[in-house]
A and B are shown apart, each in its own frame.
Chain A
Amino acid sequence: MIIVTGASRGIGKAITERLIEKGEEVFGLARSVNGLNIKAIECDVSDYTSVKNASREVKKLKKPVKAFINAAGVASMNMAVTTDESTVQKLIQINLVGTIYCCQLFAPILLRQKYGSFINFSTIAVALALKGESIYAASKAGVETFTRTFAREMADFNIRVNCIAPGPIQTDLLKGITDTQIEKITSQQIIPKQFQKSDVCDLIELLIDERARSLSGQVLNIGGV
């Protein structure tokens, strides 16, 4: 079984659909599970008790967990000086704290198995230090550091932890971003083009595969930096 957070929208939804297409059993965690065609439970990743309850429910299933994918996230493209307090809190709480809660509270399930993989999500905005994304990038920089250190803590248990850092992928998170702005970002990548959700799904497939057993604690920047 593979667990995906944010399974009802954006990249999480695309990953869920791809994994099902590949014959995987996917269990979704989402704030709203209405309309989801997979086994799923409501979970607000930014809320410790909500994540704890979700981990209890998954533990009761007594099914091996091959991978846990932290795809839930929010974005806000704004200068730090014009970002309001609640947006700052929300970005850190969902993107960083939510990832930490999910990893720490679901880790015991994978620790027992002595195998499995966590995949977290960052953004290329961290490596490129993109203007207008300071708070968002800061929340994701935390995810990258957490990924690298958590990977070391999990390594003795044969659990790998990696992070995917996409550039501007076409999802709701990009609402309001113009083509010119997107081009300005992608032009800074080593491969200067806009990648798609399917490219993220390809990387997910790679990272959960046994053939990626040598990869842990890595941040994979889509497009390259």
Chain B
Amino acid sequence: MSKVNIEQAKKIVIKAISDVLKRKTKISEDMQLIGGESLLDSMKLVEVCLLLEDLADEHGFEFDWTSETTMSKSRSMFRSITNLAEEFANQSDV
């Protein structure tokens, strides 16, 4: 199992989102992933999660994207790219 640090995790998450959005949008770290301003609808969010699951697999760990707070604007790992990257990095270290 390899630990993914936060900077690597950000790159992984940005790449996953960029792939899902077909590279049509510039992605920034503070980009909101859920809610009104989000570029991702629920379908695209699921596609990002599936990609992250595959990328986690490559790094030797399982990315669990089920969470009680998934769609919570205040606590969700999907609040921003940074939050999602932090969660991805944390799960790589379990």
Contact = CB atoms under 8 A, between A and B. Distances in A.
Q: Do A and B come from one complex?
A: yes
Interface of A: 104, 108, 111-112, 153, 156-157
A112 B50 contact: yes
B94 interface: no
Nearest to B46: A111
A111 B50 contact: yes
Contacts of A153: 42
A128 B49 CA distance: 41
A8 B83 CA distance: 44
Q: Shortest 9 CB-CB distances between A and B: which pairs?
A: A156-B43, A112-B50, A111-B50, A108-B50, A111-B46, A108-B53, A157-B43, A104-B66, A157-B46
11 contacts: A104-B66, A108-B50, A108-B53, A111-B46, A111-B50, A112-B50, A153-B42, A156-B42, A156-B43, A157-B43, A157-B46
Contacts of A112: 50
Contacts of B50: 108, 111-112
Contacts of B42: 153, 156
A111 B66 CA distance: 15
Interface of B: 42-43, 46, 50, 53, 66
Given A111-B50, A156-B43, 8 more contacts: A104-B66, A108-B50, A108-B53, A112-B50, A153-B42, A156-B42, A157-B43, A157-B46
B26 to A, nearest CB: 25
Nearest to B49: A108
A151 B46 CA distance: 15
Contacts of B46: 111, 157
Contacts of A111: 46, 50
A153 B71 CA distance: 14
A64 to B, nearest CB: 15
Nearest to A56: B62
Nearest to A114: B47
A82 B46 CA distance: 44
Contacts of A157: 43, 46
A65 to B, nearest CB: 14
Contacts of B53: 108
Contacts of B43: 156-157
Contacts of B66: 104
A104 B46 CA distance: 12
Contacts of A104: 66
A104 B50 CA distance: 13
Contacts of A156: 42-43
Contacts of A108: 50, 53
A101 B50 CA distance: 18
Nearest to B43: A156
A108 B47 CA distance: 10
A157 B49 CA distance: 14
A151 B43 CA distance: 13
A153 B42 CA distance: 9
